[in-house]
Structure 1
Amino acid sequence: MNTPNEKPWIPPYLALFFGVAAVSTSAIFVKLASAPAPVIATYRLVFSVLLTLPLLFWNRGAIGEMVRMPRRQWLLCLLSGAFLASHFLLWFESLNFTSVASSTVLVTLQPLFAFVGGYFFFGERIRPLALTGGLLAIAGSFVIGWGDFRVGGMALWGDFLALMGAATVTGYWLVGQYVRQHLSSFSYTLVVYTITSVLLVAYDLVLGYPLAGYRAEDWGWFFCLALFPTLLGHSIFNWVIKWLNTTTISMGILGEPVGTAILAYLILGEGVTLSQWVGGLIILTGIYLFIRCNTAKGVESDEATAASSEKLA
């Protein structure tokens, strides 16, 4: 369980790096699976919950913590789960209408939403040079995806879904930034993943998506989605968001297109284009500039979060 003065057991930025590497596998596994997008999202979260539950035997204190959670925290976790479910549904569905490059680039526009959300909800300020780095990294994402960017017909609908996926996942991180000041990472993650799973199963049942009858390979991809981009990606972000704010995490996730391009080369045999090399270099430069020049979630940001907590309490 977390305490107010808990110190991270590994450097937060190192954890963020490993988390970004893990989530870079997401688009690859989604593309390899042949099941409908909502079903892929559902089993990604269901398997994540099933893999997390046994850890309760080693973290008995989490049970008591969840039992003692006040109503407000439950409602915020419900909101967080709704945002996460919406994100997966929107993003996975976007891959059926537009390219992996276009979808991934648009989803990684989440820092733009994070800049606004961090300012209004937590009073965060971004230093001008850090903001320049953030915009530079976003520009790098467009350089990567521009050659495969689709803006016509049904692809435009897919691009819109991906953009809404960026907005909803930012909502998920913003809620988590507040709740994680009062709740341990394990408890928060388990509760939110469970809520998300229930919402996704309900969505499938209402719209008539079958929950069985898929290829053996698909079940393997569902498991991979749960293990790598979820438990080793999103769960790490849920842990590190106690020390790094939503904007910083969103900026780190801008490295996902770089990781995805590398994995697409290694796993799918897709070539790495000149635009991907150039865009990747721009992204990494922008992320470095942002992290180097922006105040990390330390004294100033913690005070802003505390002030926000008092207002919301």
Structure 2
Amino acid sequence: MSLPATSLADRRREGAALAALVLGAIAMGASPLFVRMADVGPFASAFWRTALALPFLAIWALTEKAAAPRPVTSNRAVWLSGVLFAGDLFFWHLAILATTVANATFLATTAPLFVVAGAWFLLGERIQQRGIAGLALCLIGGAALVGHSYGFAPERLTGDFYGIVTAVFFAGYMLALRAARREVPTGTLSFISAAITTVILFVVAYAYEPRLLPQSAHGWTVLVALALISQVAGQGLLAFALGTLPAPFSSLVIFLEAVAAALFAWIILHEALAPMQWLGGILILAGIWIARPRNTAAGSLP
């Protein structure tokens, strides 16, 4: 017996959102590679990541039909998303500077815990038992993937704290995107959010970096790639997916960012992957599969 047209349309919409989320996570996973290849400091690269993305996001926004029931500028979630993403990038780079990359990455992967709590209390999105099981598997997988080289040291406590703050800011950013997508289309949201982030990161980069401008054509190419792949594609696809998929599940799929980053480093930078890291990736995939939504039609957003 054939499915009703509405059910088929909902499934196709959810499938498109899931595909966008996976591709977005992979695109975001390339960002550490670009930051490492850039010839400017981490705060400058974060600034250029959003600044160079603005023209492309503006074109995206202009192609959209006006669908918001009220002026976008009055939507607090839109503004909040830009501030929170700036905080995410700022504290992420502080963590990298103040502790080991492994510690910073490991602690940043706790973001889904804060997303689940925030989605429950702020957005009314509750996680089911299979979602809890999937979350547990993803957290264990994340620990295996990046936590194998985690090391506690009193002198790195401040940096470790920044890693946790990073997770809180990214969780807030995802929740703000989810809330904003109830009224604002993807391109418009991505452009305004990135514009707010750019202003904040310019102040940060100007204060912390000895120079802002790349020193070569290669440096500019790397930053343009960072903007197009990690910001326009990565964050844009995330915002698109959050119009349909619940925030708790979406936060689990973002674990693929860490998997993609490890694979990119293995393929391009020839960084070896330990058996525990392969196991971590498998556990993350299993967790996402278990937690996948069976019917999110009721929660779909315009």
TM range (shorter): 0.7 to 0.9
Alignment of 1:127-206 (within 5 A): 127-206=128-207
Instruction: Work out whether residues 244 and 297 of structure 1, in 8 Å CA contact, stay in contact via their aligned partners in 2.
Output: yes
* Matched residue type, 1:260: A
Instruction: Work out whether residues 83 and 172 of structure 1, in 8 Å CA contact, stay in contact via their aligned partners in 2.
Output: yes
1:218 shift after superposition = 3.1
Q: Which residue of 2 aligns with 1:227?
A: 228
More deviation, 172-181/10-19 = 10-19
Three-state SS of the structure 1 residue aligned to 2:53 is: helix
Of 11, 23, 26, which residue of structure 2 is paired with 1:21? 26
Q: Which residue of 2 aligns with 1:280?
A: 281
Instruction: Work out whether residues 66 and 187 of structure 1, in 8 Å CA contact, stay in contact via their aligned partners in 2.
Output: no
CA RMSD for the aligned pairs? 2.7
Q: Which residue of 2 aligns with 1:42?
A: 47
Instruction: Work out whether residues 28 and 264 of structure 1, in 8 Å CA contact, stay in contact via their aligned partners in 2.
Output: yes
CA distance in 2, matches of 1:259, 1:174: 23
1:175 shift after superposition = 1.2
* Matched residue type, 2:157: L
Cα gap change, 1:224 to 1:297, in 2 (>3 Å): same
CA distance in 1, matches of 2:154, 2:222: 29
Q: Which residue of 2 aligns with 1:310?
A: none
Three-state SS of the structure 2 residue aligned to 1:93 is: helix
Cα gap change, 1:296 to 1:247, in 2 (>3 Å): farther
* Matched residue type, 1:32: M
Cα gap change, 1:212 to 1:66, in 2 (>3 Å): farther
CA distance in 2, matches of 1:49, 1:215: 22
Q: Which residue of 2 aligns with 1:243?
A: 244
Corresponding position: 1:30 with 2:31? no
CA distance in 1, matches of 2:124, 2:64: 36
* Matched residue type, 1:297: T
1:138 shift after superposition = 0.6
1:260 shift after superposition = 1.3
CA distance in 2, matches of 1:111, 1:145: 16
* Matched residue type, 1:261: A
1:242 shift after superposition = 0.7
CA distance in 1, matches of 2:228, 2:99: 26
1:262 shift after superposition = 0.9
Q: Which blocks of at least 5 consecutive residues in structure 2 are unaligned?
A: 1-8
Three-state SS of the structure 1 residue aligned to 2:288 is: helix
Instruction: Work out whether residues 108 and 254 of structure 1, in 8 Å CA contact, stay in contact via their aligned partners in 2.
Output: yes
CA distance in 1, matches of 2:194, 2:295: 27
1:278 shift after superposition = 1.1
Q: Which blocks of at least 5 consecutive residues in structure 1 are unaligned?
A: 307-313
Instruction: Work out whether residues 138 and 283 of structure 2, in 8 Å CA contact, stay in contact via their aligned partners in 1.
Output: yes
Q: Which residue of 1 aligns with 2:297?
A: 298
1:286 shift after superposition = 1.2
Identity %: 25
Instruction: Work out whether residues 60 and 187 of structure 2, in 8 Å CA contact, stay in contact via their aligned partners in 1.
Output: no
CA distance in 2, matches of 1:200, 1:296: 39
1:208 shift after superposition = 6.3
Q: Which residue of 1 aligns with 2:4?
A: none
1:296 shift after superposition = 4.8
Instruction: Work out whether residues 22 and 233 of structure 1, in 8 Å CA contact, stay in contact via their aligned partners in 2.
Output: yes
Q: TM-score, normalised by structure 1?
A: 0.84
* Matched residue type, 2:34: F
1:41 shift after superposition = 0.8
Corresponding position: 1:125 with 2:122? no
More deviation, 150-159/13-22 = 150-159
CA distance in 2, matches of 1:261, 1:56: 32
1:68 shift after superposition = 6.0
Corresponding position: 1:266 with 2:267? yes
Write out per-residue CA displacement over residues 17-53 of structure 1, whole angstroms, 9 at most, x where no aligned residue: 1111111111222223342222111000001113323
Instruction: Work out whether residues 130 and 290 of structure 1, in 8 Å CA contact, stay in contact via their aligned partners in 2.
Output: yes
Cα gap change, 1:224 to 1:71, in 2 (>3 Å): closer
Three-state SS of the structure 1 residue aligned to 2:259 is: helix
Instruction: Work out whether residues 99 and 148 of structure 1, in 8 Å CA contact, stay in contact via their aligned partners in 2.
Output: no
Write out per-residue CA displacement over residues 142-194 of structure 1, whole angstroms, 9 at most, x where no aligned residue: 11223211321554333322221111111111111111111111111111111
1:61 shift after superposition = 4.2
Q: Which residue of 1 aligns with 2:90?
A: 89
Cα gap change, 1:229 to 1:202, in 2 (>3 Å): same
Three-state SS of the structure 2 residue aligned to 1:141 is: helix
